[in-house]
Amino acid sequence: MTPDLLQAALYAALLVVIAVPLGLYMARVFSGEATFLAPLERALLAPAGIRGEEGQHWTRYALSLIAFNAAGFLVLFLLLRFQNLLPLNPQGFDGVPAHLAFNTAISFVTNTNWQSYGGETTLSHLSQMVGLTTQNFVSAASGMAVAAAVARGFAGRQVRTIGNFWSDLVRSVLYVLLPLSVLLAIAFVATGMPQTLAASVDATTVEGGRQTLALGPVASQIAIKQLGTNGGGFFNVNSAHPFENPTAISNLLSLLAILALPVAFCFTYGRMVGDRRQGVALFAAMGVMLVLAFVVLYAAERIGNPLHAGLVAPGSGNMEGKDVRFGIIGSALWAVATTAASNGSVNAMHDSLTPLGGLVAMLQMQLGEIVFGGVGVGLTGMLLFVILTVFLAGLMVGRTPEYLGKKIEAREVKLAALTLMVMPIGALALAAIAIVAGAAQGSIQDAGPHGLSELLYAYSSATGNNGSAFAGFNANVPFHNTMLGLAMMLGRFGYIVPILAIAGSLAAKKTAPASAGTFPTHGPVFVVLLVVTILIVGALTFLPVLALGPIAEQVSILAAKTF
């Protein structure tokens, strides 16, 4: 166990070492202080008649974002539908069915990357490179743009604008995502990850048989898949595939890439609002919750399944569905990181996690992907909880709630509270409709509580824009492809639009200096209150259904009952 904990500690230390300077660099990028690529920015924006220095009201900012994403959805949908008529299709794949193209296009546009298909058996190289990889960049950049706009709104004083979406989008790609992806892709190729336009290669197995191995431009897609918290794999089994994750080095690089930008955004936010302590407080709250999740999930997997006593070596834990190269610690770190960051990639099968391990992964998504969360949008999701926490603190001390010197009034609280309905509607209401409609029963693999967990995990993952799945759930049917697509849209824009509205509202307000009665939002008391608020909201919302799924399954295992 000691080597495992040392590995986890080393990972955490490396992550912080990377994230702090990266966060401060991104603050310079979004504040307009980094200008070494300004000629290229202007060259990209000028043909569209866009002036990057022209600020936008929050409504115009939101409309620009929605219009851009709608256009991206249409282009990707058509590309998938007609890939059989387009070049770079050495496998000769047919066009993707309409319901699957709809689901996939929404999935990648919303930064979810839910995959109801096997990439190596469904999509051409053109679809993978031009369609999916492009959306991996711009969907992540859209989330980064939102975070930058929100930070400006929270820091602004009596202004009507929160930045320019088009400029933020371009700067996110040029200054951050593209250079980091190039470096990471080169590192991945060095570890043995393929990067080729060849369709496949024939290999001779140890037994002397022949096997055809799918190939393609893997490294370039995996780099942005991890950095952009996209998570969609080139291959069906994602980063459990040896071509997507060849070595322990590629595993570590991927783990660092998954959380690097989400963690960095805490420090970006602190610098952009002019109070680094605020960013550190958010980092502390997210970090505490991430550590708690890791401890529970790792302990559950290390203890293993009591029904396997006498069948496996003592102390080996639950190795079902895990790669022996990475073991329990490597799988646990990845499972916690990928569900905390709305990344969704996997190096082990989450369907094979113990019930409590699966509960941790599921709950992180159900909380709204705010434990660092997706690139940019994870931070904004946490800020919604900050507003609610400040409101509750104001009630307790009998003062008008304030944050960063601005009063939090009814408009902001209502908008923040409205977002609390997003996850229950997407994860619970749509899953319930699937059960009532009879679509759930034919798609689950297992009976009993685990079957419910498979369904619940799928809709929680879609609404949380995560993209991971309990592998036993068959989502590639018209009903689930459609409903999961709707859940992804709700989970993406149901958070983005309210937080932009709050940012616009706060930007127009005056700031008042802190007084003796001001509740500090950067100290340990606030961090604890923030964490407790999040856990209470999550528990009240999802505990009943979790009791019917993973908790009931864990109790059944302890009672030696199987289904």
**Backbone angles phi and psi of 15, in degrees to 5:** -60, -45
The DSSP code sequence of 341-376 is TT----SS-GGGS-HHHHHHHHHHHHTTS-SS-STT
Looking at residue 440, its pLDDT comes to 92
Looking at residue 562, its pLDDT comes to 83
Query: Residue 403 in 3-state DSSP?
Result: strand
The candidate with the shortest Cα–Cα distance to 258, out of 242, 284, 238, is 238
Do the Cβ atoms of 71 and 166 come closer than 8 Å?
no
Q: How far apart are CA 301 and CA 320, in angstroms?
A: 10
Please count the CA atoms within 13 angstroms of the CA of 367 that sit on its side-chain side. 31
Query: Cβ atoms within 10 A of the Cβ of 101, count?
Result: 22
Q: How far apart are CA 490 and CA 88, in angstroms?
A: 33
Do the Cβ atoms of 353 and 321 come closer than 8 Å?
yes
What is the CA angle 2-349-254, rounded to 5? 65
Task: Name the pairing type of β-strands 402-403 and 210-214.
Answer: unpaired
What are 211's strand-pairing partners?
203
Q: How far apart are CA 164 and CA 166, in angstroms?
A: 6
Do the Cβ atoms of 108 and 224 come closer than 8 Å?
no
Looking at residue 519, its pLDDT comes to 81
Query: Cβ atoms within 10 A of the Cβ of 191, count?
Result: 17
Q: How far apart are CA 164 and CA 176, in angstroms?
A: 17
Which residues 6+ apart lie within 8 Å of 475 measured at CB?
A: 103, 114, 116, 443, 458, 469, 481, 484
Q: Which residues of 286-308 are buried (b: 16+ CB within 10 A; e: fewer)?
A: bbebbeebbebbbbbbbebbeee
Query: Cβ atoms within 10 A of the Cβ of 66, count?
Result: 15
pTM of the model: 0.94
Structure tokens belonging to residue 479: 């009903």
Segments of the chain scoring below 50 in pLDDT: none
Q: How far apart are CA 314 and CA 311, in angstroms?
A: 9
Q: Tell me: the pLDDT tens digits for 440-490?
A: 988 998 889 999 999 999 999 999 999 999 988 999 999 999 999 999 999
Q: If you count them, how many residues does the chain have?
A: 563
Q: How far apart are CA 79 and CA 104, in angstroms?
A: 11
Do the Cβ atoms of 129 and 218 come closer than 8 Å?
no
Looking at residue 516, its pLDDT comes to 67
What is the CA angle 340-341-344, rounded to 5? 95
Residue 334 host element (H or E): helix 327-340
Structure tokens belonging to residue 330: 């490597």
